[in-house]
Chain A
């Protein structure tokens, strides 16, 4: 298949359509506005629906409604907008609705900046909205990888009946890369499989098939039962869906942990350090929830130290520490003002660690 040069935001939007998404609800916010713009032109071409909502709050609730019918639905936003969506996301997790939510991260807190950041790691992986829930969360580091994830993410979301979050950033959506765009998936709602969905029911039909899309369980025993079911689902996801990449970690003395765009910078730093004779490698989680703790632990067995590099104040370091569990020193380097760590800075930090004997 031919490679096409595409902007990240447009490639992600097109990939969602290729994966069967026919409903997009969103609200303009930098740096992801090209996604709704693309969808507004493209959805009518494929018989889909693009609707600009009055707010991110309304958009995610439209997603809730459309996803209830079993269709493949997507919304995209950037950090402050994703904060507004958290209420709806929590309700969707509670009501067990599969859908795709795209967060093109920018700086925070508050309005922050419009440049790329990784400041929403905690929000994405540790909750965000109220209650005991998780989102199956992917953090791609290239446009091609984001496309490839999009192509199977709906299957996963539907298999487990969970909302899926794609954690991208402003750089990924604004840059262009050559990509291979997969063929269109032929998706149709199967009411026999999605017995939970709003697919039509009238009095006299099988009572089990009446759709009640709901996250309210006023009786505490019922809520416990429901939440235990959610937790059992999360354990299954943890067992089956962890994804990660090892980059030159096999003989590494220093393992750099990084996700998304920052992992690419870390890889460049590793290549330069290898030329200097420093054995460095990168461990990159592709799912940030569930976090691949065991894979990181395994990679770090023979290294001397771990360096966590992020475009935030070190939010993922908490998961790195859990994986390493005190067996190796773990350092952090990064910026939390929408500045990307550079290869030179990463290399300098590794030199400093080596000097200190870490």
Chain B
């Protein structure tokens, strides 16, 4: 029998610890496949965050670093400056990137740091058990917004892709989602393009991926996908927010 599909060798054999219906498993696979397709071989280093994907270093089958909460873009900067020929990526959640790590992500973009950031936005703190994130939607109930997020009290959710796209050093910013097969394919295309830009030494790239968190949203996996489509996508529209590569063509 001929082999028509194989798991990418850039994922280890370790079983994911993620909850049923979580988007991380899909996104890990897409990133790892793109790493393999990049043809960079041994010249790849990833930086894991603090959050649900803290163990990403156990899953991505390449040199990996575990960063302090929010500091992945600074750690990636150190690696990239020391090894400019290495493909360096960070994998971060919304608590990590949009809250405690805002300075690091803004300035990595500001410097035009030649790295790729995979930003997984599920509108909640997953690992600590469902607290409000800067990305939590208005009215969304979490364990620290039990009456629903009140905009008057703690602001409206932050839109990182839109914000980072305004920074001159940002080269390519796109928001994707893993709610449908079509969107999963689009997400992979975006990640692949980001790595191509990094290989070409272009500049800072970030792919934001809207991702479901059934466990902390209190929904089953199917309901969670529906909730993402009906609530997250309208507030966080999918699409390309910046693509200097396309502009240059």
**Chain A contact residues, CB within 8 Å of chain B:** 23, 25, 49, 51, 53-55, 57-59, 61-69, 71, 73, 87-88, 91, 95, 198-205, 210-216
Count contacts between A and B, CB distance < 8 Å.
Answer: 129
Q: Contact check, B67 vs A203: say whether CB atoms are below 8 A apart.
A: no
Q: Contact check, B104 vs A61: say whether CB atoms are below 8 A apart.
A: yes
Q: Which residues of the other chain, A, contact B81 by a CB distance below 8 angstroms? A: 23, 49, 51, 62, 65-66
How far is it, in angstroms, between the C-alpha of A25 and the C-alpha of B76 when the chains are bound? 13
B170 within 8 A of A: no
B82 within 8 A of A: yes
Can you sample 27 A-B contacts with CB below 8 Å?
A23-B78, A49-B81, A51-B77, A51-B81, A51-B111, A54-B103, A54-B107, A57-B104, A58-B71, A65-B65, A65-B76, A65-B79, A66-B78, A68-B65, A73-B78, A88-B68, A198-B79, A200-B42, A202-B62, A203-B9, A210-B61, A210-B64, A211-B45, A212-B64, A213-B66, A214-B57, A214-B64
Q: Given A49-B81, A61-B104, check contact A200 B66 (CB 8 Å).
A: no
B79 is contacted by which of A54, A59, A69 (Cβ under 8 Å)? A69
How far is it, in angstroms, between the C-alpha of A120 and the C-alpha of B62 when the chains are bound? 39
Q: Contact check, A62 vs B74: say whether CB atoms are below 8 A apart.
A: yes
| Chain A, residue nearest B77 (CB) | A62
How far is it, in angstroms, between the C-alpha of A54 and the C-alpha of B79 when the chains are bound? 17
Q: Given A54-B104, A57-B103, A200-B42, check contact A68 B78 (CB 8 Å).
A: yes
Give the number of chain B interface residues (Cβ < 8 Å): 36
Q: Contact check, A58 vs B65: say whether CB atoms are below 8 A apart.
A: no
Which B residues between 52 and 77 are near A, CB-CB below 8 angstroms? 54, 57, 61-68, 71, 74-77
How far is it, in angstroms, between the C-alpha of A67 and the C-alpha of B106 when the chains are bound? 23
How far is it, in angstroms, between the C-alpha of A202 and the C-alpha of B36 when the chains are bound? 10
Q: Which residues of the other chain, A, contact B10 by a CB distance below 8 angstroms? A: 203
How far is it, in angstroms, between the C-alpha of A210 and the C-alpha of B14 when the chains are bound? 15
Q: Which residues of the other chain, B, contact A64 by a CB distance below 8 angstroms? A: 65, 67-68, 71, 74-75, 78
B47 within 8 A of A: yes
Q: Contact check, A198 vs B83: say whether CB atoms are below 8 A apart.
A: yes
Q: Contact check, B78 vs A203: say whether CB atoms are below 8 A apart.
A: no
Q: Contact check, A201 vs B62: say whether CB atoms are below 8 A apart.
A: yes
Q: Which residues of the other chain, B, contact A65 by a CB distance below 8 angstroms? A: 47, 65, 74-82
**Chain B contact residues, CB within 8 Å of chain A:** 9-10, 41-45, 47, 54, 57, 61-68, 71, 74-83, 86, 103-104, 106-107, 110-111
- B40–chain A nearest beta-carbon distance, Å: 9
Q: Contact check, A214 vs B79: say whether CB atoms are below 8 A apart.
A: no
Q: Given A198-B65, A216-B54, A216-B66, check contact A61 B74 (CB 8 Å).
A: yes
Q: Contact check, A204 vs B74: say whether CB atoms are below 8 A apart.
A: no
Task: Please give me the 10 A-B residue pairs with the lowest Cβ-Cβ distance, nearest first.
Answer: A65-B78, A61-B74, A203-B9, A66-B78, A202-B42, A54-B107, A62-B78, A65-B75, A200-B42, A214-B66
Q: Contact check, A55 vs B103: say whether CB atoms are below 8 A apart.
A: yes
Q: Which residues of the other chain, B, contact A203 by a CB distance below 8 angstroms? A: 9-10, 61-62
Q: Given A57-B71, A58-B107, check contact A214 B65 (CB 8 Å).
A: yes
Q: Given A58-B107, A61-B68, check contact A66 B63 (CB 8 Å).
A: no
Most buried by B among A54, A67, A205: A54
Given contacts A57-B103, A212-B64, 11 further A-B contacts (CB under 8 A): A23-B82, A53-B74, A54-B103, A57-B104, A61-B71, A61-B74, A62-B77, A66-B78, A91-B68, A200-B43, A202-B42
| Chain B, residue nearest A64 (CB) | B75
Q: Which residues of the other chain, A, contact B74 by a CB distance below 8 angstroms? A: 53, 57-59, 61-62, 64-65
| Chain A, residue nearest B75 (CB) | A65
Q: Contact check, B65 vs A61: say whether CB atoms are below 8 A apart.
A: no
Most buried by B among A51, A62, A88: A62
Q: Which residues of the other chain, A, contact B62 by a CB distance below 8 angstroms? A: 201-203, 210
How far is it, in angstroms, between the C-alpha of A53 and the C-alpha of B111 when the chains are bound? 10
Q: Given A62-B81, A63-B78, A210-B63, check contact A198 B71 (CB 8 Å).
A: no
How far is it, in angstroms, between the C-alpha of A73 and the C-alpha of B74 when the chains are bound? 14
